[in-house]
């Protein structure tokens, strides 16, 4: 306690020294945040001066993230106050939106870009204010993106029109940083582990940029586990420990050793392994072929050694790790594994933990996964096995019953290691295992790895932190997908690793990849053209069987009924664009049809009111789905019963009549071109225009990465309502068209459209994962599907086969699509 | 207050209790309000619910595999299976073995096709099962034409609608099925693998679980159960008709969700599905007794599903909420979707 008190005095003194120099941008005073009995933040003071660069360090659970969330308005503190340039603000008035208005931007550790949008469009999402809904609005953002990227990272070759999904992780991080830095009126930028994916040069560029902008008065908070970066860039350092400020002071008074000590770690260097006395006969993994061509000899990984994989991000280290774990056909020639392997992922949330399970469940699955599926599970046996592993790891057995997500990052990591230990495999693969783990836990982890290796296992360790490689017995350095250097023992130094990382492999594996990509690209083009080819084929068959089809009247007769499906497809496309599926859209069209043929015909005002109410209910559905975070498929399936039920209640048997004006809307003629073709083209055009508007970009953004959209200040509920409103308008138009074309209504008339519209949307090339709108393809698909019935009739096949044909077309297209799919984008 | 907290904690782990309470309450209310409700009327409801439970259990396996997987082909499988049963058994007890074999074979075939599309080709389950449903619809139309007569084998009829000392045989079958399913989920490796795959597919793969076979078996179980259900349902109603499986599409999903199985996958409860099936049938029966027109019955069913989901959605959120505080200081493990508003 006394130490803490001293530290607090220190920090107060430091504050007093710094405060008068520059004007403060934002000041947090006495921030306390409690979660039940736990204090995540306890009386933290933080003042950021204009032009200041605060290095924020602390272990996991030290309270950095909580403090930053409070700073950015994502969370309210239990106690404490916030003020901007001396002006006190009530926290109840403070939120993410307000923080953004006041010039605070945060670059998150998990990136917040929409992968399906271009770089320029992502810039638009962050500062939407300047976009007018006129053609060419993108040019503004394109220029801004270009300029911002060049300002921070000179010499980058990022195309502002490139889809973010096609950029490397490092490039995405660069875009994200540049985007925050380019925001007009920005006063403070919080960078959370900004260099985790950047190589040394880019990291230097970033730090140079920070220095330059800080001179101009912009403030930064720089969070990093890489302490040398903190020492290099910060003007002031804040160390958090257990939710309190452990130290705060000028960078000149800090050193890496001191910071590590303050954070609660010991400052011993990583290097502690003795060179393993490995029995060279015991080869567990053998690497050969193209992979090791540059080395001129094969690599054997044996029991008892730790092998590090190094190199620039994305040079093939991860691929090797996965190839060892599960050799697939392509690489099996280069990688031979002679024993079982288990995998410890660094991205615990995405690749490690099972969030519904206890710690025990998370550990035992390692052993269970290797047993026959029908064998029995016993809690006691699980506990016994896990206890052995846990004691080695110093993981408290009393936590076995807790949910895994209640553990800190470091302890979760221990549970994952325990999982590998109970799996009892001779090979353990580690994928950046200490990511987001604090220094003290890391030291513990390195010791542990040594012990495990001594116990006769082989560890293969992929890391992004070069310093960690010092814990390895051997290091394989990757460049361009190949191993270009093998370092061992004393030859392993950070400079040797970095030097080797930039080696150009004799002939990269990239060439082969390009050829594959070209072939797949061709395949994809063919698949994308499939709806048009099949439409042409269907029409050709029908015209050859009956030339009268080619007349304007013939086409109208054939295509007019397709109009309703086209409209429903347009509605479905917007829902699918939000990565949802509406299983009630056809029923809704049916309901609108009934309403228009009954109420609207008999009492126009009441009918119009009912239509508006139905539309509002439909849009509200989107709001419910969003606000309650429940699956749209089931909600809309439930809603379909409501729509059908309402329809039945209004009109138990088919009937009614179409209002004259409505029929007129669909029965005009230009003479030259079939009316149906004009109407269908108009639908495609409207969808296309909506999609190109800023509104369309926002909707696609939500379809791809809603979290990022919320961080950029967009309201998910509002846009869910808008999305469903747009879909409802199209579905409503479909209902009206049904009434006009059939001159009567039947509540069941729309039912078949639901599934057909999903099929059409998929045919058209929209991803069910969301974020893609392709009006022309989907509408061609819709027309094709609706012609199937007529086609079968022409070929005098029983209409019984209608459904099967549609189903088979769908399966065939999806099969083609999946065979030519870009596997990377699926991940 | 303490007992209440203890109960709510217990109920979080045993989500089936809500459906059970629902059944109890609705039945009590009905017994008091009308005097037409007795234990025997409840046994009739349980008989109808048994058919739903069997499809529901299958659907539950698919839902538990996660990623919003749903088997939309169950309705078509039920219908087709009923027709196939008529075609193979032809009302003769002697043909019963062939009929059962045909039903299982049909289930296996459809399940294998679904698995091929979903696991082998990576097509989203909803679309794949939807497409399979289309193909089965045509098969049903064709078998409808081939049907010569609507006679049901007496033994099967007895199985589907008979009672032993007042207890419907179907109910016994359904309860045994639920018990077996609960055992498989809780005490076999397969149950654990299924849950793991449903929670986090990447983590499951990296924990050396072979996801493909696990997911495929869920689809196969679903189709086989739906097919057997169709066989029995056909015997119960004494024939088969087009669209006879249709109500089971929404109801099976509703029973799964209402029972407390997580719609996002990873956690299933067979007992919950059983109680939810009874609850759903009870609701439908109530509406019929009150004399609501069919349209209104549809509306009520739809509202119940949406309402329950909306409630369950909040439940899932509050269940996850405590996670955040306890580890609130640590950012790297926080689920992206669970940020405080």
Q: Tell me: pLDDT of A12 over 50.
A: no
**Domains of chain A, CATH where assigned:** 2-103+185-263 (3.40.50.300), 271-317+429-508 (3.40.50.300), 340-425 (3.40.50.300), 515-821 (1.10.3470)
As a whole number, mean pLDDT of residues A749-770 equals: 83
Residue, of A277 and A235, whose pLDDT is higher: A235
Q: Hey, are the CB atoms on B299 and A630 less than 8 Å from each other?
A: no
| A100/chain B closest Cα distance in angstroms | 15
Task: Taking residues A114-119, report their average pLDDT.
Answer: 88
Choose the mutation target among B302, B304, B324 for the interface with A, i.e. most A CBs under 10 Å: B302
Q: What percent of chain B has pLDDT over 90?
A: 46
Of A265-274, A335-344, B202-211, B218-227, the least confident:
A265-274
CB interface of B with A, residues 45-84, below 8 Å: 68, 70
What is the C-alpha separation between A486 and A478, in angstroms, rounded?
Answer: 9
Cβ–Cβ below 8 Å for B309 and A642: no
pLDDT category of residue A333 using cuts at 50, 70 and 90? low
pTM of the predicted structure, to 2 decimals: 0.80
Collect all residues with Cβ–Cβ distance below 8 Å to A395 and sequence separation of at least 6: A359, A411, A414, A415, A418
- Taking the Cβ of residue B303 and every Cβ of chain A, the question of whether any pair is shorter than 8 Å is answered with yes
Task: Give the chain B residue nearest A340 (alpha carbons).
Answer: B208
Kindly state whether B291 is in contact with chain A, defined as any CB-CB distance less than 8 angstroms: no
Q: Which residues have C-beta within 8 Å of that of residue A781, sequence separation ≥ 6?
A: A531, A535, A569, A759, A760, A761, A762, A763, A764
- B149 interfacial to chain A (CB closer than 8 Å): no
> How far is the alpha carbon of B217 from chain A, nearest alpha carbon, in Å?
11
pLDDT score recorded for residue B330: 34
Is any Cβ of chain B less than 8 angstroms from the Cβ of A549? no
% of residues, chain A, pLDDT over 70: 88
| Helix residue ranges, H only, A379-474 | 379-393, 409-423, 439-454
pLDDT higher than 50, residue A184: yes
Distance from CA of A35 to the nearest CA of B (A): 5
CATH class of this structure's domain B12-316: mainly alpha
Between residues A586 and A136, the one the model is more confident about: A586
Which has more confidence, B191 or A136? Answer: B191
Lowest mean pLDDT among A135-149, A514-528, B76-90: A514-528
**Position A363 confidence tier, pLDDT thresholds 50, 70, 90:** very high
Contact B146/A at CB under 8 A: no
Q: Which of B117, B314, B329 sits opposite A811 (nearest CB)?
A: B117
The residues, any chain, with a CB within 8 Å of residue A355's CB and separated by 6 or more, are A403, A404, A405, B199, B200, B323, B335
Q: Is the pLDDT of residue B254 over 90?
A: no
- Check A634 against B294: CB less than 8 A apart: no
**Whole-angstrom distance, CA of residue A680 vs CA of residue A24:** 60
Asked if residue A131 has pLDDT above 70, the reply is: no
- Whether the CB of A808 is below 8 Å from some CB of chain B: the reply is yes
Contacts of B215 in chain A (CB under 8 A): none
Residue A264 pLDDT greater than 70, yes or no: no
pLDDT of residue A773: 82
**For residue B335, is pLDDT > 50?**
no
- Mean pLDDT, rounded, for A605-633: 89
* Alpha helices, H only, A546-603: 552-577, 585-597, 599-602
Residues of chain B in contact with residue A41, where contact means CB-CB under 8 angstroms, are: 329
Given the structure tokens 């999904």, which residue do they identify? A165
**Which whole number is the average pLDDT over A196-216?**
86
Instruction: Give the model confidence (pLDDT) of A655-687 as tens digits.
Output: 888 888 888 888 888 777 888 899 999 999 999
Q: Does residue A481 contact residue A509 with C-beta atoms inside 8 Å?
A: yes
> Is A743:A561 a contact under the CB 8 Å cutoff?
no
Find chain A residues with C-beta within 8 A of B323's C-beta: 355, 403, 405-406
Q: Does B158 touch chain A (CB under 8 A)?
A: no
Given a cut of 70, is residue A514 above it in pLDDT? no
Q: What is the pLDDT of residue B322?
A: 33
**Which among A41, A356, A821, A824 is the top mutation candidate for probing chain B, defined by the most B β-carbons within 10 Å of its own β-carbon?**
A356
Q: What is the DSSP letter of A274?
A: P
* In chain B, beta strands by DSSP E: 163-164, 167-168
Q: Which residues, numbered 703 to 722 in chain A, qualify as contacts with chain B under a Cβ-Cβ cut-off of 8 Å? A: 706-707, 710
What is the pLDDT, as a whole number, of residue A826?
36
Confidence of residue A134 (pLDDT cuts 50, 70, 90): low
Q: How far is B295 from chain A (nearest CA, A)?
A: 4
For residue B156, report the phi and psi dihedrals to the nearest 5 degrees.
-65, -40
Distance of residue B103 Cα from the nearest chain A Cα, in angstroms: 20
Q: From residue A378, how far is each of A201, A364, B192, B214 by CA, in Å?
A: 53, 10, 11, 20
- Complete DSSP assignment for A104-140: EEEE-SS----TTSBHHHHHHHH-GGG--SSTTHHHH
Percent of chain A at pLDDT exceeding 90: 18
Say whether residue A762 is in contact with chain B using an 8 A CB cutoff.
Answer: yes
SS3 label, residue B71? coil
- Chain B's closest residue to A346, CA to CA, is B332
Of all residues in chain B, the one with the smallest CA distance to A42 is B329
Instruction: Check residue A827 and give its pLDDT.
Output: 33
d(CA B311, CA B223): 29
A711-734: string of b/e by CB count within 10 Å (b at 16+)? bbbbebeebbbbbbbbbbbbbbbb
Measured between beta carbons, the chain B residues lying within 8 angstroms of A801 are: 138
Q: Show Cβ contacts of residue B101 under 8 Å, excluding neighbours closer than 6 positions.
A: none
pLDDT of residue A90: 83
* Cβ within 8 Å of B, A 364-403: 364-366, 368-377, 403
Inform me whether the C-beta atom of residue A423 falls under 8 Å from chain B C-beta atoms: yes
Contacts of A36 (CB under 8 A, 6+ apart): B322, B325, B326
Residues of chain A with C-beta less than 8 angstroms from the C-beta of B190? 373-374
Distance from CA of A36 to the nearest CA of B (A): 7
CB contact under 8 A, B306 and A635: yes
| Inter-chain touch A581–B309, beta carbons under 8 Å | no
Average pLDDT over residues A784-813: 86
Predicted confidence (pLDDT) at residue B182 exceeds the cutoff of 60: yes
* pLDDT score at B340: 34
* Most confident listed range (A439-453, A635-649, A655-669, B205-219): B205-219
**Antiparallel, parallel or unpaired: β A427-431 and B163-164:** unpaired
Mean of pLDDT values over A489-493: 80
Chain A closest CA to B164's CA: distance in Å? 33
Which of B74, B208, B215, B311 to mutate against chain A (most A CBs within 10 Å)?
Answer: B208
- A 10 A CB-CB count for B144 gives 17
Give the chain B residue whose CA is nearest to the CA of A402.
B323
Q: Which of residues 30-89 of A touch B (CB under 8 A)?
A: 33, 35-36, 38, 40-41, 60-66, 69, 74-75
pLDDT at A1 over 70: no
Read off the tokens for B325. 């505080």
Over the stretch B295-328, which tens digit does the pLDDT of each residue have? 888 888 888 888 877 776 554 443 333 333 333 3
Most confident of A35-39, B147-151, B219-223: B219-223
What is the pLDDT, as a whole number, of residue A13? Answer: 46
Which of A443-447, A657-661, A757-761, B59-63 is the most confident on average?
B59-63
Most B CBs within 10 Å: which of A106, A632, A638, as the mutation test of the B interface?
Answer: A638
Contact B329 A642 (CB under 8 A): no
**Average pLDDT of A114-135?**
80
A65, A69, A631 from A41: Cα distances, Å: 10, 11, 35
Stretch among A92-106, A122-136, A163-177, A754-768 having the lowest mean pLDDT: A122-136
């Amino acid at each position: 306690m006394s130490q803490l008190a001293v530290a607090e005095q220190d920090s107060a003194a430091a504050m007093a020294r710094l405060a008068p120099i520059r004007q403060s941008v934002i000041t947090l005073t006495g921030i306390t945040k409690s979660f039940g009995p736990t204090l995540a933040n306890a009386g933290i003071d933080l003042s950021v001066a204009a032009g200041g660069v605060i290095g924020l360090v602390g272990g996991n659970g030290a309270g950095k993230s909580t403090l930053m969330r409070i700073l950015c308005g994502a969370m309210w503190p239990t106690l404490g106050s916030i003020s901007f340039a001396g002006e006190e603000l009530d926290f109840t008035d403070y939120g993410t939106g307000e923080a953004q208005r006041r010039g605070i931007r945060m670059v998150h550790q998990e990136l917040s870009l929409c992968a399906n949008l271009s770089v320029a469009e992502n810039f638009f999402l962050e500062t939407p204010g300047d976009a007018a809904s006129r053609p060419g609005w993108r040019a503004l953002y394109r220029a801004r993106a270009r300029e911002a990227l060049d300002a921070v990272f000179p010499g980058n070759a990022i195309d502002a029109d490139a889809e973010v999904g096609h950029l490397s992780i490092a490039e995405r991080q660069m875009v994200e940083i540049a985007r925050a830095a380019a925001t007009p009126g920005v006063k403070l930028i919080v960078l959370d582990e900004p260099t985790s994916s950047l190589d040394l040069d880019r990291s230097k560029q970033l730090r140079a940029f920070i220095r330059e902008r800080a001179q101009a008065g912009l403030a930064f908070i720089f969070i990093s586990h890489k302490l040398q970066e903190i020492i290099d860039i910060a003007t002031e350092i804040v160390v958090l420990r257990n939710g309190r400020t452990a130290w705060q002071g000028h960078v000149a008074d800090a050193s890496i050793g001191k910071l590590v000590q303050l954070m609660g770690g010991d400052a011993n260097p990583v290097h502690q392994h003795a060179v393993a006395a490995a029995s060279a006969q015991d080869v567990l993994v053998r690497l050969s072929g193209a992979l090791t061509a540059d080395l001129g000899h094969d690599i054997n990984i044996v029991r008892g050694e730790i092998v590090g994989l190094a190199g620039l991000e994305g040079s093939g280290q991860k691929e090797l790790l996965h190839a060892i774990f599960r050799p697939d056909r392509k690489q099996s020639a280069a990688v031979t594994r002679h024993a079982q392997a288990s995998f410890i992922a660094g991205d615990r949330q995405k690749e490690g933990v099972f969030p519904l399970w206890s710690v025990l469940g998370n550990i035992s699955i390692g052993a269970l996964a290797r047993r026959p599926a029908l064998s029995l599970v016993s809690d006691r046996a699980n506990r016994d096995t896990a206890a052995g592993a846990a004691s080695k790891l110093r993981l408290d057995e009393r936590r076995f019953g807790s949910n895994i997500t209640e553990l800190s990052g470091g302890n979760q990591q221990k549970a994952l290691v325990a999982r590998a230990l109970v799996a009892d495999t001779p090979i353990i693969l580690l994928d950046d295992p200490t990511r987001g783990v604090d220094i003290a836990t890391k030291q513990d982890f390195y010791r542990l790895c040594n012990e495990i290796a001594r116990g006769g296992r082989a560890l293969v360790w992929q890391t992004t932190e070069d310093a960690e490689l010092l814990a390895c017995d051997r290091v394989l350095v990757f460049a361009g997908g190949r191993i270009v250097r093998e370092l061992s023992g004393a030859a392993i130094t950070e400079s040797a690793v970095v030097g080797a990382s930039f080696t150009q492999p004799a002939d990269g594996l990239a060439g082969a990849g390009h050829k594959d990509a070209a072939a797949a690209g061709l395949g994809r083009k063919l698949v994308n053209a499939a709806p048009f080819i099949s439409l042409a084929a269907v029409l050709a068959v029908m015209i050859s069987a009956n030339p009268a089809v080619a007349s304007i009247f013939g086409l109208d007769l054939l295509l007019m009924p397709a109009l309703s499906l086209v409209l429903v497809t347009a509605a479905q496309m917007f829902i699918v664009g939000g990565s949802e599926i509406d299983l009630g859209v056809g029923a809704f069209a049916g309901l609108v049809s009934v309403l228009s043929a009954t109420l609207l015909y008999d009492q126009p005002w009441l009918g119009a009111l009912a239509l508006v109410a139905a539309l509002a209910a439909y849009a509200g559905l989107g709001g419910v789905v969003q606000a309650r975070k429940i699956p749209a498929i089931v909600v809309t399936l439930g809603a379909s019963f409501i729509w059908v039920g309402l329809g039945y209640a209004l009109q138990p048997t088919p009937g009614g009549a179409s209002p004259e004006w409505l029929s007129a809307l669909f029965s005009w003629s230009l003479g030259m071109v079939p009316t149906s073709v004009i109407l269908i083209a108009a639908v495609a055009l409207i969808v296309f225009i909506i999609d190109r508007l800023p509104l369309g970009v926002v909707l696609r953004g939500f379809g791809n990465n809603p979290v990022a959209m919320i961080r950029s200040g967009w309201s998910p509920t509002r846009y869910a309502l808008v999305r469903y409103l747009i879909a409802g308008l199209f579905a409503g138009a479909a209902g009206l068209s049904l009434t006009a074309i059939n001159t009567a209504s039947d509540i069941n008339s729309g039912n078949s459209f639901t599934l057909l519209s999903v099929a059409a949307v998929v045919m058209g090339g929209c991803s069910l994962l969301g974020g893609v709108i392709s009006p022309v393809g989907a509408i061609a698909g819709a027309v094709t599907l609706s012609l199937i019935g007529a086609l079968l009739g022409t070929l005098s096949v029983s209409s019984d086969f209608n459904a099967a044909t549609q189903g088979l077309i769908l399966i065939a297209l999806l099969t083609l699509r999946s065979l030519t799919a870009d596997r990377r984008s699926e991940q | 207050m303490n007992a209440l907290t203890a109960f709510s904690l217990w109920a979080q782990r045993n989500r089936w209790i809500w459906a059970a309470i629902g059944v109890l309450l609705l039945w009590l209310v009905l017994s008091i309000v009308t005097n037409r409700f007795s234990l025997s009327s409840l046994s009739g409801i349980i008989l109808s619910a048994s058919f739903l439970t069997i499809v529901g259990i299958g659907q539950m396996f698919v839902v538990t595999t996660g990623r919003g997987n749903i088997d939309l082909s169950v309705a078509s499988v039920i219908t087709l299976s009923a027709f196939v049963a008529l075609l193979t058994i032809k009302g003769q007890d002697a043909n019963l073995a062939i009929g059962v074999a045909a039903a299982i074979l049909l289930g296996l075939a459809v399940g294998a096709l679904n698995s091929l599309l979903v696991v082998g080709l990576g097509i989203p389950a909803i679309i794949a099962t939807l497409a399979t449903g289309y193909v089965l619809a045509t098969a049903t139309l064709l078998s409808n034409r081939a049907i010569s007569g609507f006679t049901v084998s007496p033994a099967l009829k007895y199985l589907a609608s008979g009672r032993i000392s007042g207890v419907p045989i179907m109910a016994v079958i359904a309860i045994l099925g639920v018990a077996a399913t609960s055992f498989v989920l809780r005490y076999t490796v397969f149950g654990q693998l299924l849950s793991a795959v449903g929670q986090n597919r990447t983590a499951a793969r990296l924990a050396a679980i072979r996801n493909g076979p696990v997911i495929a078996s869920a689809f196969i179980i679903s189709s086989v159960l739906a097919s057997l259900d169709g066989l029995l349902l056909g015997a119960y109603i004494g024939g088969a008709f087009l669209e006879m499986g249709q109500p089971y599409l929404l109801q099976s999903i509703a029973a799964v969700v209402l029972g407390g199985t997580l719609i996002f996958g990873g956690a299933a409860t067979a007992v919950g599905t059983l109680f939810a099936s009874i609850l759903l049938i009870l609701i439908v029966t109530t509406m019929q007794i009150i004399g609501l027109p069919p349209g209104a019955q549809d509306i009520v069913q739809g509202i119940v599903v949406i309402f329950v989901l909306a409630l369950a959605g909040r439940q899932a959120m509050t269940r996850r909420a405590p996670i955040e505080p306890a580890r609130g200081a640590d950012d790297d493990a926080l689920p992206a979707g669970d940020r405080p508003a």
